[in-house]
Amino acid sequence: MRYKDTGEVHMDFHLATNETIEYVLTEYGQDFLKELFRRTAQNVYLDIYNGLRKGDSQKLLEHWSYYYTREKGDYIITEGLNEVCFHVTECPVVRHLKENKIPVNRAFYLQMELMNNAWSEDTPFNIETSVLSEGEYTMTIRRTPNDSQ
Amino acid sequence: MIPSDHFVRMYNELFKMLEEKGHSHLQNYWRRIASLQKTILGPYIEKDGLQGMYDYWEHIRIEENCDANLEITDDFFEFRMNKCPSLSKALDNDAGAFEYYCDHCAGWVKPVVEEYGYHYSSDIISRTLPVCVMRIYKDRKKAEEYNQTHTLPAKPY
């Protein structure tokens, strides 16, 4: 993994992320937010993005597994013929915001959708984000039909 | 989700985008986060003044895995960063660090302590080495005197 943090976790950073998303949406709109997450997905997580472009989704799955585990989230991974589903049954961010009595930002799930869309851009994958309930969602990495890899 | 460990690298990108729009955009964002910071740091200061700051940043030292020394005197609270995890992450980053990355720290903290009547003074020392010193003084004159000793004073606004 290109980034693999260890040691203590400062969960309050999620409060700042929540505030930041609200600020960016209000002040600059959704296109600006989209560009922010495009840069994050493709430039910061360059290693993951390069893997996806080459048809390898393993680095993204490893990243999700490591950090949802590190933040004590719960998830189930199921693999199908042409897809892998990362089903988050308890999101650590939503849990932390609720523990601090802070409303989950209106764009919290949009953030994940924008990240996943940016990760799948110009790759042989589509990453579908589906919200099932507060703090529960799926992110399904699916090979696009015209991809022969 | 953006892992809490990676908020640093995400906002490093936001800093670049806001700076592209003009420095005042970046400063406005820092002020917004300072308002959030006040809700977290503020109660510590209200309760115990400099000792409250010490308690807050001791908690930060542990949770953010900082290599840092904290000191409290009759005049000031000092947080001496020997290895800043935040700048370290911004530098260890495939997207590259924002040139004025370090300034955000003062941008988020200075307005909060000033609201409580304290005086902020910080020496960034270097933009490429993860070391710095922050002092928060009771007395303005002493803070200004300390400012004169800095290699690279933080001037967020």
Sorted by sequence, the CB contacts under 8 Å of residue A68 that are 6+ apart come out as: A74, A75, A88, A92, B1
Residue B63 lies in a domain: yes
Which CATH number covers residue B107?
Answer: 3.30.1380.20
| pLDDT at residue A146, rounded to an integer | 67
CB contact under 8 A, B6 and A44: yes
Tell me the β-bridge partners of B67: B83
> B100-126, pLDDT tens digit by residue?
999 999 999 999 999 999 999 999 999
- Residue B65 forms contact with A (CB below 8 Å): yes
**Total of domains in chain B:** 1
Which chain A residues touch B32 with a CB distance below 8 Å? 19, 23
> What is the rounded CA–CA span in Å between residue B68 and residue A36?
31
| Domain ranges, residue B131 | 4-147
Instruction: Name which of B137, B112, B88 is nearest B39 in CA terms.
Output: B112
| pLDDT at residue A147, rounded to an integer | 58
| pLDDT at residue A106, rounded to an integer | 79
| pLDDT at residue A105, rounded to an integer | 83
Could you tell me whether strands B67-72 and A136-143 are parallel, antiparallel, or unpaired per DSSP bridges? unpaired
CA distance A57 to chain B (A): 17
> What is the rounded CA–CA span in Å between residue B13 and residue A38?
10
3-state secondary structure of A4: coil
| pLDDT at residue B83, rounded to an integer | 97
| pLDDT at residue A37, rounded to an integer | 98
* % pLDDT > 90, chain A: 93
Answer for the pair B113, A57: CB distance below 8 angstroms, yes or no. Answer: no
Average pLDDT for chain B:
97
Residue B70 lies in a domain: yes
Sorted by sequence, the CB contacts under 8 Å of residue A76 that are 6+ apart come out as: A87, A89
Phi-psi region of B107 (alpha: psi -120 to 50; beta: other; left: phi over 0): alpha
Whole-angstrom CA distances from A127 to A66, A121, B106 are 19, 9, 38
Asked whether the predicted pLDDT for residue A67 surpasses 90, the reply is yes
CA B20 to chain centroid, in Å, comes to 22
Residue B130 lies in a domain: yes
Residue B154 lies in a domain: no
Residue B153 lies in a domain: no
> B56-86, pLDDT tens digit by residue?
999 999 999 999 999 999 999 999 999 999 9
> A109-137, pLDDT tens digit by residue?
999 999 999 999 999 999 999 999 999 99
Asked whether the predicted pLDDT for residue A148 surpasses 90, the reply is no
Work out the pLDDT band at A145, boundaries 50, 70, 90. confident
Residue B152 lies in a domain: no
CB contact under 8 A, B13 and A36: yes
> A18-44, pLDDT tens digit by residue?
999 999 999 999 999 999 999 999 999
A-B C-beta contacts closer than 8 Å: 101
Structure tokens at A147: 């991809």
> What is the rounded CA–CA span in Å between residue A16 and residue A105?
11
Query: What is the set of domains in chain A, with CATH numbers?
Result: 13-143 (3.30.1380.20)
Interface mutation vs chain A, best among B7, B9, B10, most A CBs within 10 Å: B10
Angle at A69 between CA A113 and CA A124, to 5 degrees: 40
Tell me the β-bridge partners of B76: B137
| pLDDT at residue A58, rounded to an integer | 97
Answer for the pair A73, A92: CB distance below 8 angstroms, yes or no. Answer: yes
